[in-house]
Chain A
Amino acid sequence: MKAGINALTAIKAMIKGPVTRRYPYVPANVTQATRGQLTLDIDKCIFCGLCRMHCPAGAIEVSKPDRTWQVDQFRCVICGCCVDYCPKNCMKIEQTYLTPSKERIILKFTGAPVQEISDQSPEQS
């Protein structure tokens, strides 16, 4: 039974300084594989709703008539399930973590209105 055997490690740690970083003032150390937050390329999205159906957290809402796609980033668990299912590969997980916030962050995208394009096309022809 010995006393103070951890003293050497403690002194070394004091000389070396802290191993932690002052996040969020200093950016987090991320890797290529890190799952930070979910984003969407709305131009590719066909509003099929597969991501909404398979989301384990129920964070995604898709409306085909309104052509909107939105994710509640506070409910999203960044599992990547939606990315696996997306038939158009329009979803992506970015490496950077979500910025801390007091308000609930809802990321909403609205697609280009198809109706107008189809309305315009007969006029043009």
Chain B
Amino acid sequence: MSKQIIVPFGPQHPVLPEPIHLDLVLEDERVIEAIPSIGYVHRGLEKLIEKRDYKDYVFIAERICGICSFIHSATYCEAIEEVMKVEVPRRATFLRTIWSECSRMHSHLLWMGCFADSMGYENLFMNSWRIREKILDILERTTGGRVIQGVCRVGGVSRDIQKEELDKISGDLNELIPDLKELTRVFEEDATVQMRTKGIGLLPKDKAWELGAVGPVIRGSGISVDTRLTGYGAYGELDFKPVVKNECDCYARCLVRAEELFTSIDLIQQAIDQIPGGDVKIPVKGNPCGEFFARAEQPRGEVIHYVKANGKKNLVRHRVRTPTLANIAPLVTMLAGCELADVPVIVLTIDPCIGCMER
């Protein structure tokens, strides 16, 4: 038996966009065990709820994550609206859906770029981010912010999108489809991608379910779990089917994300076709009293926002369960038994968002 050594991976590592530390117990080049440790970017955002007005906290909730920011603010608003029994205008829920799906697209494209970069495929990385810019342009045009949109409010949204602009978005997305197809084709067929991802980082179906994986990680293991199916927001009125792959490896998780881009475009087109008229925001008066769990599907999986209020302007508790935390246990399982050179690729397939996880 070879001698075991421990190699530290992170918190500063070229492949990691954010800091997480893994102690890799190695036997020769093979990983026997991975011990994660977190806590490098804790900002205490949940505690801030005790000092900020519940309406102003939307801006802080949005800054929990720097990528899937819009969905955080929308989910927080949904939780507060449910506690206060506020009926949000239907147009606002559709607009939230459109922006959520745009956020999902830009997050997936960012991930595809980072993933290509983790394999050393710089050209694919540049291409993914070039396409992502077009989604960011749509977001900037309609909300004013490229990544942090800042349009969600308790009781609706602060900006409307006019009919001409909606048609323009639809046209822009149609123009984007050939580029995305080409990008997806590269991820599906390219020899480099396949050699680095096929059969690597296996997470069997039963293990994924048992460990509570969420998002593309569990869908890449053949289980159709998607919070959007619960019909929150406008998703109940839109028709879609989650992308599920059965290979259970890094390749499957990569393809799930690539194909979800087309699902998102389809959902945005449906929302644009079905969007009703009317107001986008209703005035909300008074303070919340009660508690609620709001669930939403982020690009990385299911997020839960729990709020508890006692009738004052500051909430008693705000708790967020982010998808990355749920995917850490499956990650440790995937890493056990892999080669050291495959660790960066496997770590990136869960799309780790550490800033989001530690808040």
Contacts and interface: CB of A to CB of B under 8 A. Distances in A.
B239 interface: no
A74 to B, nearest CB: 16
Interface residues of B, number: 32
Contacts of B126: 13
Nearest to A10: B123
Contact of B141 (A10, A31, A78, A84): A31
Nearest to A55: B56
A10 B186 CA distance: 12
Which range contains the number of A residues in contact with the other chain?
20 to 34
A35 B141 contact: no
Interface stretch (A1-9, A62-70, A103-111): A1-9
Contacts of B140: 31, 33-34
Interface of B: 52-53, 56-57, 59-60, 63, 123-124, 126-127, 130, 133, 140-145, 148, 150, 158-159, 182, 185-186, 189-192, 194-195
Given A3-B191, A19-B133, A77 B123 contact: no
B127 A35 contact: no
Interface of A: 1-3, 5-6, 9-10, 13, 19, 31, 33-35, 54, 56, 77-81, 84, 93
Contacts of B189: 1-2, 5
Contact of A77 (B59, B133, B158, B182): B59
B145 A35 contact: yes
A1 B133 contact: no
A34 B190 contact: no
A33 B141 CA distance: 6
A79 B141 contact: no
B53 A9 contact: no
Contacts, number: 65
Given A31-B141, A80-B150, A2 B190 contact: yes
A9 B126 CA distance: 11
28 contacts: A1-B189, A1-B194, A1-B195, A2-B189, A3-B190, A3-B191, A9-B182, A10-B123, A13-B130, A19-B130, A31-B141, A33-B140, A33-B143, A34-B140, A34-B144, A54-B56, A56-B56, A56-B60, A77-B63, A79-B59, A79-B148, A79-B150, A80-B144, A80-B150, A81-B56, A81-B59, A84-B158, A93-B144
B123 A56 contact: no
A33 B144 CA distance: 4
A42 B126 CA distance: 45
A35 to B, nearest CB: 4
A31 B194 CA distance: 40
B164 to A, nearest CB: 13
A6 to B, nearest CB: 5
A92 to B, nearest CB: 13
Given A6-B124, A54-B53, A35 B150 contact: yes
A56 B126 CA distance: 35
A84 B56 CA distance: 11
